[in-house]
Amino acid sequence: MLVAVVLLLSCQNQKTARPQEDCSGFVNVTDVVPDAILEIRYYGTYNFVGARIDGYRQPVALLTKQAADSLRAVSDDVIRQGYRLKIYDAYRPQMGVDHFVRWSQVPADTCMKRYFYPMLDKPVLFEQDYIMAKSGHTRGSTVDLTLFDMKTEKEVDMGGTFDWFGQESHPDFCGNPQTRTYTGLTDLEKANGMKPITEQQFLNRLILREAMLRHGFKAIDSEWWHFTLRNEPYPDTYFEFPVTQL
């Protein structure tokens, strides 16, 4: 009985603990993955909020040492295929997540709606989990990224942009990523007037997905660009230190 009480209190303390400010377990991604291209969207204004996000003091990418090492293996993999990694976001401080939440509570602030959520009303973004009060990014082992084609010197065409809020961003949109089968739109998606991605765009997403999965990351069902280290070192810790060169 005593053991159960201790465990319960421990879990409660984890849930209510303040975000941690110790960055000793983190590294600059480009120190480990020098070939990575950075376009840190939340440092600039081209993002769904339309402003620099709190805590992004420099346009750098930070990850836990373990996640960065695994990402280096991904980079080596895709380089052999003719690509480089392009990173939009990595570690995100809790103050940045809090900024998203505050923005979601101001219905009139929709300056970036046409670029990132034209088919959705802003109030549903929080309800449908596009924005959450807690994010895996804040644990330091999650990264948002795409591929850059070294031959064409352009981003690979994934059939959609980073941070697009909608079904078009789902990895299984127009196909089954497990079987690598392209299916096109379902009848319901056609009825809703959705536009399909092409088979090539679907396969392009798989190049990134399969390289990430091969080297220790896991995907989510809602965003083709979002991956978290499977054995992340801080699964229950949220960090608060700012995004700046370490």
Q: How far apart are CA 25 and CA 66, in angstroms?
A: 9
pLDDT surpasses 60 at 10? no
pLDDT tens per residue, range 172-206: 999 999 999 999 998 888 888 889 999 999 999 99
Sequence-distant (6+) residues with CB within 8 A of 3 are none
Name all domains of the chain by residue range, CATH numbers in brackets.
17-164+201-229 (3.30.1380.10)
- The single residue listed with the structure tokens 């319960």 is 8
User: What is the tens place of the pLDDT at every residue in 131-157?
Assistant: 888 999 999 999 999 999 999 999 999
Span 162-181, pLDDT tens digits: 999 999 999 999 999 999 99
CB atoms within 10 A of CB 211: 22
The answer on pLDDT for 114 being more than 90 is: yes
154-155 and 181-182 as β-strands: parallel, antiparallel, unpaired? unpaired
Query: Would you state the pLDDT for residue 74?
Result: 98
pLDDT value at position 17? 58
β-pairing, 26-28 vs 83-89, is unpaired
**Angle subtended by helix axes 65-80 and 199-214, to nearest 10:** 130
